Chain A
Amino acid sequence: MIAGDGDAVGVLATIWKWAPLIGRGFLLNILISVLAMAMGTVAGLALGLGQIAPYAVLRRPAQIVTQFFRNAPWLVLLFYCILLLPYQMTVGDWTVPMPAWIKATIGLALPVMGNVSEIVRGGIQALPQAQWDSAESLAFSRRQTLWMVILPQAIKPMLPPWMNLYAVLIMATPLASIVGVEEAMTLTRFALSAENRSELLLPMYLALLVAFFAYCYPIARWTARLERRFAVKH
C-alpha cells in the first residue's frame, strides 16, 4: 500500500498546514469560555443571593430568571444573542463594538449565570441552620453573617460543581461555529471546504476532539480530586 502511505503523509501534511490557524481558533474558544465564566459567575452569584433573599419581591423574580436560563437550550440562547443583540453599544460617549464572538460570549454567559445561581443557592442552603442562628446570637447582621460566616464555608463545596460547569461551558463553545464565530470548529469547517477532500474529515475532526480532550481532561481530574476532598462524610 505505497499509495496509502503517501496519502497518510499527505493528510498529516495538510493537517499541519492548517494547524496554526485552527490553533488560533482554539485560543478563541478558551478566551470565550473564560470570559463567559467570569461574567456568568458574577451575575449568577448576585442572582443566587437573590434566590435566598428574605423578601419575596426579590426572591421570586430571581427564582424565575434562574429557572428560565437553566431550562433554555444553550444553542437557542446563542442564536438569540447573535441575531438580536446590537452590533455596538453606546454607553454615554463611548461606543463599544460588539463583534460576533463577544455576543457569543454573552450568549454563553446567560446559561452559566442560571447554573451558578443554582449552585450558590444549593451551597448556601446545604449549610446547617445553626450557622445562621449562632451568628445571629453573636449580634451579626444578616449581611455580615452572609459574607463573613456563610459564604466562606459554602465556597469550598461549590467549587467542584462550578468547575464542572466550566467543563460544560468550554465544550459548548464550538456551538458558536453554528452562528458564524471563527473559533476552532468554524475554521476546521472552512479548511475542509477549502481543501475539498473527504478523506480529511476523519483526521481533522479527530484532531479537534483530541485538542479539546487535552484541555478538558486535566480539569476533570482536578475537579474529581477536589470533589473527593470536599466530600461530606456520611
Chain B
Amino acid sequence: MTGVWDWFLWLYEAHGINLPVFYDSYDRQRFFAGLLTTLELSVCSVVASVAIGLVGAWALGSGSVVARRLVQGYVHAFRNTPPLIQLSFLYFAVGNLLPRLEMAGGGSRPLLDGFAWAVVTLSLFGGAFNVEIFRSGIEAVPASTVEAAEALGFNRWRLHRHVVLPLALRICLPALSNNLVNLVKTSTLAYAIGVPELLYVSAQVWADAMNVREMMNVLLVTYVGMVGLLSFGLRRLEAALRVPGLGTVGGQP
C-alpha cells in the first residue's frame, strides 16, 4: 500500500499534480472519514425517507381527513422550498429552540447535532417526494387484482401486505430509484452546517494545500462513481423484481 501512496508523492514532485489525500496520512484519513460520513448520511436518509414515504402514503389512503390534510401540507411545504434553506432553518433556527443536554464537563450539547439535523432534513425532503411516489404506485395497482384478492377472502392487512404493496413497489421502483439517487446527491448540502462529509473535507484539503483543480476532479470522480454504483444496483433490483405484464409509473425505463 505504501508504494501506491508514494507514487502520488512522486506524481506531485515530478508533475505538480498535488493529491495530498493519497500521500499525506492526515489528509488521507480525513478524506476517507468524509467519504464514510457521506455514506452514513446517505444510508440513514434513504432508509428514513422511505419509511416516511410509506407512512405518508398509508395516511393519505386512510379515512381520516385530518391525517390526509396534515400529510398533504407536509408534502407541499417540503417539495416547494429549497432544501438548503430548509436545512439552515431547521439547524440554526429550530435547533436553537429545542431543549439541551447539560454536559458533565460544563457547557451543553444540542439534542441533535449537525449530522442528525442533516439526516432529518434530507429524510423530510426526500420523504415528501416518496409519499407521492408510493401513493401513485398504490393507485396504479389494477383494481381487478385487488378485487380478486378480496374475493379470495384476504383481509385489509393481508391484502396490503401480500398483494398491493409488493405490486406497488415494483410499479414505482423507477421513480423511487430516481428520488433516492437525488437524495444521495443532495447530501452535499450538509457542507453548509459544518457536517464533515466528502465535499466539506475536500474543501478543507484544497484550502490547506491550494490544489482546487486536483481536489475538484477527485471529488467529481468519487461522486459520479458512487452515484453510478447506486443507480446500477437499483436498476439490477428493478430487473430482478420485474413481473411480466406489470407497467411502471414515473421515471424512465
Q: Would you call A84 an interface residue if the criterion is a C-beta within 8 Å of the partner chain's C-beta atoms? A: yes
Measured in the bound complex, the distance between the Cα atoms of B185 and A79 in whole Å is 14
Q: Would you call B26 an interface residue if the criterion is a C-beta within 8 Å of the partner chain's C-beta atoms? A: no
Give the total of B residues in contact with A, Cβ under 8 Å. Answer: 41
For A83-95 the 0/1 string (1 means CB < 8 A from B) is: 1100000000000
Q: Using a CB-CB cutoff of 8 Å, which residues 73-121 of chain B contact chain A?
A: 76-77, 79-86, 88-89, 92-94, 96-97
Task: Name the B residues within 8 Å of A122 (CB-CB).
Answer: 252-253
**Do B228 and A209 touch (CB < 8 A)?**
no
In chain A, what residue has the closest Cβ to B229?
Answer: A71
**Do B216 and A175 touch (CB < 8 A)?**
no
Task: Name the A residues within 8 Å of B192 (CB-CB).
Answer: 178
Pick the contact of B223: A72, A208, A216 (CB < 8 A): A72
Indicate whether A73 sits within 8 Å of B223 (C-beta atoms), given known contacts A84-B216, A167-B80, A198-B96.
Answer: yes
In chain B, what residue has the closest Cβ to A125?
Answer: B253
Q: Would you call B231 an interface residue if the criterion is a C-beta within 8 Å of the partner chain's C-beta atoms? A: yes
Interface size class of A (residues with CB under 8 A): 35 or more
Indicate whether A68 sits within 8 Å of B224 (C-beta atoms), given known contacts A198-B96, A209-B89.
Answer: yes
Chain B's nearest CB lies how many Å from the CB of A45? 16
Q: Would you call B173 an interface residue if the criterion is a C-beta within 8 Å of the partner chain's C-beta atoms? A: no
Q: Would you call A205 an interface residue if the criterion is a C-beta within 8 Å of the partner chain's C-beta atoms? A: yes
Give the interface of B toward A (CB within 8 A). 76-77, 79-86, 88-89, 92-94, 96-97, 140, 181, 185-189, 191-192, 199, 203, 212-213, 216, 219-220, 223-224, 227-228, 231, 247, 252-253
Q: Which 8 A-B pairs have the closest CB atoms?
A: A122-B252, A202-B93, A216-B80, A71-B227, A73-B185, A205-B89, A171-B82, A75-B188
